[in-house]
Structure 1
Amino acid sequence: MRITSDFDKLSFHDAGIAKIVREDGCILISIEGAFISSDHPQAGEKDWVVESGTLKLLGVISEEAKYWDDTKAAREHPQPEMPLDEIMHASLENDVFHFDGFRGSVPWFEWFVTAQGFALEVIAANEKNS
């Protein structure tokens, strides 16, 4: 399954990031544990848990990673090549993908990627039982 629309009907809450690769204007994110809502037009009216897949951010224009160690201001990320390894929230607004969550069980990291689109390539998924 390849999903290229309706990012808001995907959930990456508690999804793990196994690897991030940057190549040819794209960022390839190996994802474990994403969720596809039955409301998504490609879900076949079923809820799916993506056991493994690749989220491709296409036509990347820029990216920025931040680290919060207090509530006053974000700091420069100590390892921007791997901004986080567990996603708590993911959103897309005005071509900016915003991910936040943990890195090595330490909170709070943010990653902003401005890109022209996305494709979620599902490698393995299971229907979620209610």
Structure 2
Amino acid sequence: MRFAGSVGHTLLQALGIHMKYETNCQFQKLDFHDSPVSKIVYGNDSISIYLDFANILAEHIANPYPVAKCIENCAITFNGVIESIASVYNDETKVFEEHQYPTEPLDQEILEVITSVGSKGLVTYTLKGFHSTGWTEWRITSQQFKLSWDDFSQDAWFVD
């Protein structure tokens, strides 16, 4: 799936959804391990993935607490999406194949997100996780991301 267009209002704003907190920096200090996916919404050049929760590390500039915190009912929005490619692992052939549900490649949870920066400065986010059809890898190349959430809740699951 390919996208064209410029970065404008975010999809969340267009839908009339306003959250209290947001960040668009320090992606490596966010944690999406075991983050359940509740829905995926597409805009003109954006993809919003709604999560039941994610975690923000203590070192993140947007976290005012001395420990990593869980942020519930959040959304990660990729703006200026250039490309979205999803694949699912075939247990029989032992290879990744084109995902049969490319617009909803994750319907269970994210286990990991890896980033890489391309030659033009665009970031590719590789979301690894589960779809009811199997293990999925979803690569989204975009100009920017934004994580939005309503409030900080309990300490993250990995805090002692």
Report deviation, 1:48. 1.3
Q: Which residue of 1 aligns with 2:148?
A: 121
Equivalence for 2:82 = 61
Matches of 2:111 and 2:24, distance apart in 1: 21
1:90 alignment partner in structure 2? 113
Identity of aligned residues (%): 30
1:39 matched to 2:59? The reply is yes
2-side partners of 1:91 and 1:3: how far apart? Answer: 18
Look up the equivalent residue of 1:60 and give its one-letter code: V
The code of the aligned residue for 1:109 comes to T
How many Å separate the matches in 1 of 2:69 and 2:33? 14
> For residues 3-52 of structure 1, what are the alpha-carbon distances to aligned partners after superposition, in whole Å with 9 as ceiling and x for unaligned?
11011000100001111111020101111121000010111134211111
Secondary structure at the residue paired with 1:68?
strand
1:37-89 Cα offsets, whole Å, 9 max, x none, are 00101111342111111101010000100010237421110111111121011
Matched, 1:79 2:101: yes
**Aligned equivalents of 1:25 and 1:78: distance in 2?**
22
Q: Alpha-carbon deviation of 1:124?
A: 3.4
- Tell me the secondary structure at the aligned position of residue 145 of structure 2: strand
Q: Tell me, which stretches of 5 or more residues in structure 2 are unaligned?
A: 1-20, 118-122
Could you tell me the TM-score, scaled by structure 1's length? 0.91
Alignment of 1:12-31 (within 5 A): 12-31=32-51
Give the paired residue count: 129
Structure 1: runs of 5 or more not aligned: none
CA RMSD of aligned residues (A): 1.5
Q: Distance in 2 between matches of 1:73 and 1:46?
A: 39
Higher Rg: 2
After TM superposition, which residue ranges in structure 1, 4 or more long, deviate above 6 angstroms?
A: none
Once residues 143 and 151 of structure 2 are traced to their aligned partners in structure 1, the CA distance between those partners, rounded to angstroms, is: 26
Structure richer in strand, relative to its length: 1
Provide TM-score, normalisation by structure 2: 0.75
Task: State which of 99, 112, 117 in structure 1 corresponds to 2:139.
Answer: 112
2:151 & 2:138 partners in 1: Cα distance? 25
